[in-house]
Amino acid sequence: MRHQPHIPRKRFGQNFLQKQDIIDDILHVIGPQPDDLMVEIGPGLGALTTPLARALKQLHVIELDRDIVKTLHEKHDNGNVVIHEGDALKFNFASLGARLRIVGNLPYNISTPLLFYLTEYIAHVRDIHVMLQKEVVERMVAAPDTSAYGRLSVALQYRFEMEKVLDVGPDAFYPQPKVDSAVVRMLPRVKREPAATDEALFARIVTTAFSQRRKTLRNTLRNILELADFEVLNIDAGARAETLSVSDFVQIANWVTEQQKTF
């Protein structure tokens, strides 16, 4: 029986990869080896799934769309693809084991929440190669004192070494998105130096500092830092959050912890 073509669903943010040279480039960047413990998020119509399954002894995939799950079962019946039906934002990645390699063309509508969710499993991750909206990737890898540098940059750079490894144009997908895409490589920073004593506090301070980008640190952090604190930390109270490095934010968080300030 001939299958009806799958109609991309906007609510799932579906844009299916179809350009073969881009698929080959992504596979080259990932470099799958037979014994790798790999999981693909959002396999879609299988542009990466099929070649990855050929290269690996076993591949895990996570898919929310029931119609696609049905197709995956038909295409990979009795094969080496383990299909997990459900939401990647609720999936227990630790259940798959350690040294996990995560790959995927992430739906744009959940990409940022999913990146933060994956940080919870960083101890189980070997590396991550995902395709995202190019603008998001540029924010992830941005340097301090640039317009793209922000909360996402600091939060992820604290936990990962990151590099944009491939640009992907809209013509690589069906339907074509209205934005460019990029593949980013994320390697967990096992030893974080300096490390935040209280990572939850560190995250709150970063969020607060960037909550009003045009305001100075004197204003955004006024509830936790006095001018004397800025002097001790050797940080300009008149500067904006985007000028601070990841280490600067760690320094602030650890100072607040040491001084037992409430925030």
- The full set of domain ranges for the chain reads 10-188, 199-258
Residue 144 token pair: 């301090």
Give pLDDT, residue 263: 65
Give pLDDT, residue 14: 59
pLDDT by 10s per residue, the chain, length 263: 344 444 544 444 457 898 999 999 999 999 999 999 999 999 988 899 999 999 999 999 999 989 889 999 988 877 899 999 999 999 999 999 999 999 999 888 889 999 999 999 999 999 999 999 999 999 999 999 999 999 999 999 999 999 999 999 999 998 888 899 999 999 999 777 789 999 999 999 999 999 998 899 999 999 999 999 999 999 999 999 999 999 999 999 999 999 987 76
DSSP state of 12: G
H-helix segments, 31-125: 49-55, 66-75, 111-119
DSSP state of 146: S
Q: Which of 121, 143, 172, 248 is nearest to 19 (CA)?
A: 172
- For 10-188, which CATH superfamily applies? Vaccinia Virus protein VP39 (3.40.50.150)
What DSSP element (H or E) covers 151? helix 151-157
Q: How far apart, in whole angstroms, are the C-alpha atoms of residue 235 and residue 247? A: 12
Neighbours of 157 (CB within 10 A): 20
Neighbours of 198 (CB within 10 A): 14
Supply the Cα-derived Rg of the chain in whole angstroms: 21
What CATH number has the domain spanning 199-258? 1.10.8.100
Neighbours of 4 (CB within 10 A): 7
Give pLDDT, residue 4: 43
> Does the reported pTM lie above 0.85?
yes
Q: How far apart, in whole angstroms, are the C-alpha atoms of residue 234 and residue 33? A: 48
- Taking each helix axis from N to C terminus, what angle separates 134-141 and 111-119, rounded to the nearest 10 degrees? 40
b/e string for 220-253 if b means 16 or more Cβ within 10 A? Answer: bbeebbeeebbeeeebebeebbbebebebbbbbb
Domains 10-188 and 199-258 share a fold: no
Strand order across the beta sheet in which 125-133 lies: 81-85, 59-63, 37-41, 100-105, 125-133, 181-188, 160-168
Residue 171 token pair: 């013509």
